[in-house]
């Protein structure tokens, strides 16, 4: 079996021990940069990301994994109990999570379950985000409105994807910066404005109202559902 990818490097001793005892091959990496170099011949079989220490960096790492040429899955996240609330709105970043400190048997059970389900091929449906006339194809990074493809840059796409994945919800600029851009941001909340404006322009006059301004709060995609 191909090795598991562990983040960070060095892996926590308990984790390393559990994996070793369970007979799993694994390799730890310290950051995104060393990902490619560390990748084994046959690729990774899955990943475990420990988020207890530095959640932001861990989430960023997950994001990189998910956006790779071959999205890495299954992805198991290790979080402390106090950080459970941080999982919200980040469900797309991982397949399962486990509380840290963990019970070795629980971790093993989750790994087995994940691999089993991955083998069932449940994940081979085309991943689409749809809302009204808008369609985002997550596999091909293409977007279309009313059947017509529109050309989005990377950031535009990511922003639209996030918004369209949570229709009706209002997000502050700060939230968008941290969830879409992925790092704590210093300065320029206006960056969001500009991207919103370009999105509206590319959506076309007819669909520009898909993104609404909520004054003094932020932006909202689509209509609320009552």
User: Binding to a copy of itself by residue 190, rule CB under 8 A?
Assistant: no
With CB under 8 A as the contact rule, the residue among 52, 60, 80, 137 that binds a copy of itself is: 137
With CB under 8 A as the contact rule, the residue among 60, 80, 165, 175 that binds a copy of itself is: 165
Least CB distance from residue 48 to a copy of itself, whole Å? 16
**Cβ-based nearer residue to a copy of itself, 60 or 166:** 166
Residue 144 interacting partner from a copy of itself, DNA, none (CB closer than 5 to 8 Å by kind): a copy of itself
Residue 225 interacting partner from a copy of itself, DNA, none (CB closer than 5 to 8 Å by kind): a copy of itself
With CB under 8 A as the contact rule, the residue among 42, 140, 187, 190 that binds a copy of itself is: 140
Residue 213 interacting partner from DNA, a copy of itself, none (CB closer than 5 to 8 Å by kind): DNA
**Chain positions contacting DNA, by CB under 7 A:** 153-156, 173, 181, 185, 187-188, 190-191, 193-197, 200-201, 213-218
Q: What whole-number distance in Å separates Cα of residue 55 and Cα of residue 83?
A: 8
Buried b (16+ CB within 10 A) or exposed e, 110-132: bbeebeeeeeeeeeeeeeebebe
Question: DSSP readout, 141-200?
Answer: TEEEETTEEE---HHHHHHHHHHHHSTT-EEEHHHHIIIII-S---S-THHHHHHHHHHH
Q: What is the DSSP letter of 8?
A: S
User: Binding to a copy of itself by residue 205, rule CB under 8 A?
Assistant: no
Tokens of 141: 């990074």
**Cβ-based nearer residue to DNA, 153 or 224:** 153
Phi/psi at 143 (nearest 5 deg)? -130, 150
With CB under 8 A as the contact rule, the residue among 23, 33, 120, 190 that binds a copy of itself is: 120
Question: DSSP readout, 48-98?
Answer: EEE-SS-HHHHHHHHHHHHTSSS---SEEEEEEGGGGGGGTT-GGG-SEEE
User: Binding to a copy of itself by residue 195, rule CB under 8 A?
Assistant: no
């Amino acid at each position: 079996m191909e090795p598991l990818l562990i983040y960070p490097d060095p892996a926590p001793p308990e984790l390393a021990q559990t994996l070793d005892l369970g007979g799993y091959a694994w390799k730890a990496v310290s950051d995104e940069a060393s990902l490619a170099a560390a990748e084994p011949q046959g690729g990774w079989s899955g990943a475990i990301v420990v988020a207890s220490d530095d959640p932001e960096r861990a989430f960023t790492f997950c994001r990189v994994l998910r956006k790779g040429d071959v999205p890495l899955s299954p992805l198991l996240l290790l979080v402390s109990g106090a950080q459970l609330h941080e999982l919200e709105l980040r469900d797309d970043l991982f397949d399962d999570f486990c509380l840290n400190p963990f019970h070795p048997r629980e971790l093993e059970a989750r790994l087995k379950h994940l691999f089993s389900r991955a083998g069932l091929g449940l994940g081979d449906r085309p991943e689409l985000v749809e809302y009204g006339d808008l369609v985002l194809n997550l596999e091909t990074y293409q977007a279309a409105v009313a059947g017509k493809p529109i050309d989005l840059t990377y950031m535009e796409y990511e922003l639209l994807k996030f918004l369209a994945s949570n229709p009706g919800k209002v997000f502050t600029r700060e939230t968008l910066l941290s969830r879409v851009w992925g790092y704590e941001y210093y300065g320029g909340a206006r960056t969001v404005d500009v991207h919103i404006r370009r999105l509206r322009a590319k959506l076309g006059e007819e669909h520009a109202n898909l993104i609404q301004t909520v004054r003094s709060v932020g932006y909202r995609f689509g209509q609320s559902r009552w």
